Amino acid sequence: MAENKCSLRKEFTKGLLRENPVLRLVLGTCPTLATSTSMVNAIGMGIAATLVLVCSNIVISALRKVIPDKVRIPAYVVIIASFVTIVQMIVKAFVPALDAALGVYLPLIVVNCIILGRAEAFANKNPVIASAVDGLGMGIGFTAALFCMATIREFLGNGSLFAEAQDLLGVFGDNVLGGFNGITILNTPMTIFILPAGGFFVFGVLIALSNKIGDKKKLPKAELHGCESCPLASTCSKVVSEREDKKI
Amino acid sequence: MTATQLFSVLLTAILTENFVLCKFLGICPFLGVSKKVNTAMGMSVAVIFVMLISTAVTYPINTLLVAKHLEYLQTIIFILVIAALVQLVEIVLKKYIKSLYNSLGIYLPLITTNCAVLGVVLLNLEEGYSFGISMINTLGAGIGFMVAMLIFAGVRSRLETADIPEFLKGLPSTLIAASLTSVSFLGFSGVVDGIFGS
């Protein structure tokens, strides 16, 4: 039992730092760059993606012996898309301001590589509880990285922290935390940081930082390996044909 | 639908609202497959192709969904239709048009989970475009993707010979180069309004 607990803790913590999906595995770059313009958006996106990730991991892991290997990717996509639809409905009903802020990026959680990647790499080989814990760890790791980036971008680009916090807090009723709606610190912010260019820049600097820290712990550098790093690599005809070319 | 409107939608999609550099859709291929100019070209032509057929197929499906009040099924149905469509196109190309398959086919499976394809379909619906304008907007988004890919492939080939500090080597320097490329696209903001005076 003790051993079991220990391994569960390992599954949970690996997503936070050692295998952080954004900063170490470089997955899910699109939502990371797009929704990190404000801290509130980042938290909302993180929670939504974590919910989908945990639920889809649980269901995929529970069905791992039922789903035939050949059609597993379409099956996973359907499961993930169903949970995304549910989350979309919940957000639309309870946090309409967040739905407006995230826009098209909310349904696009379906094609977030982190979720399909975890299904393919973890949930279809491991029992339900371990998969749920793995999903939770990866989701929190994603949220943490997103939050980190959003803090830098919002502080430098908009001069504020937690702007429009009532968008999220509104779920718990009116005037939560005394109507706290963020604080403004810089009066003349550098707008470039909330523009797309600033997103790429901050992400680049964060990756460099995480590489530097990873170096000390003898971890490999975060790197995109083109198609090889894609979660669908094992089913992709391009990667398979390239591998065969290399063998010859 | 006037010609001016068409051109303004097309130019907006290519320049001011560039899919990759302003909307962050399709970042994975943008960073992953942009090392060489010819692979970047192949990938973007395949993306344009898939985007166009996906828009053409999902538009009537959406009309049907709206008529039956099943809008909430959009996400599930679209992703399945796009995935099935890509598989179908791959099979047809492989069987009948071998030369096209050799140059484009290898990129097709990658595109199924590319957020740019689902993204353009959903954005067209969000904007409430008619079928014709949707197709033009999709074409513009695809061309914008290609322009960004080709420019960035050029930037990256220069980056390879540059002397970069050790801690920035690899992905960080690529991202900072992408940031600078994105700055150059900032210069286009207002261009479309300036030309068409809307």
Domain ranges of chain B: 28-185
A171/chain B closest Cα distance in angstroms: 22
Q: Give per-residue pLDDT as tens, B58-97.
A: 999 999 999 998 888 888 999 888 888 888 888 888 888 8
* pLDDT score of A139 more than 90: yes
A236: left (phi over 0), alpha (psi -120 to 50) or beta: beta
Distance of residue A35 Cα from the nearest chain B Cα, in angstroms: 10
Region of poorest pLDDT, from A13-17, A129-133, B193-197 = B193-197
Q: Which residues contact A130 (CB under 8 A, 6 or more apart)?
A: A7, A8, A11, A61, A122
Partners of residue B75 in chain A, C-beta under 8 Å: 81, 84-85, 88, 107, 110
The residue among B58, B108, B110 with the most chain A CBs within 10 A of its CB, best to mutate, is B110
| Closest chain B residue to the Cα of A213, Cα to Cα | B167
Chain A / chain B CB contacts < 8 angstroms: 148
Contact B80 A84 (CB under 8 A): no
Percent of the residues in chain A that have a pLDDT greater than 70, as a whole number:
84
Give the model's confidence band at A122: pLDDT under 50 very low, under 70 low, under 90 confident, else very high: confident
Q: Closest approach of chain B CAs to the CA of A112, in angstroms?
A: 8
Please check whether residue B57 is in contact with residue B134, taking contact to mean a CB–CB distance below 8 angstroms: no
* Comparison of pLDDT for B146 and A71, the residue scoring more: B146
Residues of A in contact with B35 (CB under 8 A): 226
From the list A78, A199, A223, the residue facing B170 with the nearest CB is A223
Query: With bands split at pLDDT 50, 70 and 90, how would you rate the model's confidence at A224?
Result: low
- Predicted local confidence at residue B198, as pLDDT: 54
A227 with B32: Cβ contact below 8 A: yes
Confidence (pLDDT) at B111 = 66
Over residues B140-160, the pLDDT tens digits come to 999 999 999 999 998 888 888
Residue of A nearest to B26 (CA): A30
At A232, is the pLDDT very low, low, confident or very high (cuts 50, 70, 90)? low
* Residue contact A241–B106, C-beta within 8 A: yes
Mean per-residue pLDDT, B109-116: 69
pLDDT at A245: 60
Mean pLDDT of B159-176: 85
Tokens for B135? 């197709």
Mean pLDDT of A75-96: 91
Strand partners of residue A184? A160
Report chain B residues whose CB lies below 8 A from the CB of A89: 72
* Calpha distance B46→A213 (Å, rounded): 38
Once rounded to an integer, what is the mean pLDDT over residues B16-22? 86
Taking an 8 Å cut-off on Cβ atoms, the answer to whether B75 and A225 are in contact is no
Using DSSP, state whether A75 is helix, strand or coil: helix
End-to-end CA distance of chain B: 15
CB A79 within 8 A of CB A52: no
pLDDT at A53: 94
- pLDDT, residue A162, reads 85
pLDDT at residue B120 above 80?
Answer: yes
Report the pLDDT value the prediction gives residue B99, as an integer from 0 to 100: 78
Average the pLDDT over B8-33 and give the result: 84
Q: Is the pLDDT of residue A225 over 60?
A: no
Helix axes A128-158, A196-216, angle to 10 degrees: 120
Q: Would you say residue B9 has pLDDT above 80?
A: yes
B74-92 exposure pattern, b = at least 16 Cβ within 10 A, e = fewer: bbbbbbeebbebbeebbee
**Rounded to whole angstroms, what are the CA distances from B29 to A28, A134, A227, A242, B75?**
12, 27, 8, 17, 22
Average pLDDT of the residues in A124-140: 91
Per-residue pLDDT at B105:
67
What pLDDT is attached to residue A236?
55
Kindly list the residues from chain A whose CB atom is less than 8 angstroms away from the CB atom of residue B173. 204
Cβ contact B75–A74 (<8 Å) = no
Q: Which residues of A touch B106 (CB under 8 A)?
A: 237-238, 241
- Per the DSSP assignment, residues forming a β-bridge with A160 are A184
Of A113, A208, A211, the CB nearest to B28: A113
Q: From chain A, pick out residues whose CB is under 8 angstroms from the CB of B176.
A: 200-201, 204-205
Residue B110: its pLDDT value, please?
64
- The residue among B164, B171, B174, B186 with the most chain A CBs within 10 A of its CB, best to mutate, is B171
Mean pLDDT for chain A overall: 83
Mean pLDDT of A109-117: 85
Query: How many Cα atoms occupy the beta-carbon half-sphere of B148 within 13 Å?
Result: 37
Highest mean pLDDT among A75-84, A108-117, A230-239, B152-161: A75-84
Instruction: Note the pLDDT of residue A234.
Output: 56
Residues of B in Cβ contact (< 8 Å) with A223: 170-171
Query: Is residue A1's pLDDT more than 50?
Result: no
pLDDT band at A212 (very low <50, low <70, confident <90, very high): confident
Residue A26 has pLDDT above 70, yes or no: yes
How close does chain B come to A16, measured CA to CA in Å?
20
Q: Is the pTM of this model over 0.90?
A: no
Q: What is the mean pLDDT of chain B?
A: 85
Residues on chain A touching B31 (C-beta within 8 angstroms): 29, 224
Three-state SS across B111-176?
Answer: HCCCHHHHHHHHHHHHHCCCHHHHHHHHHHHHHHHHHHHHHHHHHHHHHHHCCCCHHHCCHHHHHH
The answer on pLDDT for A3 being more than 60 is no
* A205 chain-B contacts, CB cut-off 8 A: 172, 176
Residues of A in contact with B170 (CB under 8 A): 211, 221-223
Contact A197 B179 (CB under 8 A): yes
Q: Say whether B27 and A33 touch across the interface (CB within 8 A).
A: yes
In percent, the amount of chain B with pLDDT more than 70 equals 93
- Residue B166, classified by CB atoms within 10 Å of its CB into exposed (0-12), middle (13-18) or buried (19+), is exposed
Q: By three-state DSSP, how is residue B26 classified?
A: coil
Q: What is the pLDDT of residues A149-205, one digit of tens each?
A: 999 999 999 888 888 777 777 777 666 666 677 788 888 888 889 888 999 999 999
- Rounded Cα gap, residues B141 and B145, in angstroms: 6
CA dist list (Å): A22 to A15, A115, A149: 10, 12, 11
Instruction: Indicate yes or no: CB of A113 within 8 angstroms of CB of B113.
Output: yes
Q: Could you give the angle at the alpha carbon of A45 between the alpha carbons of A39 and A46, nearest 5°?
A: 85
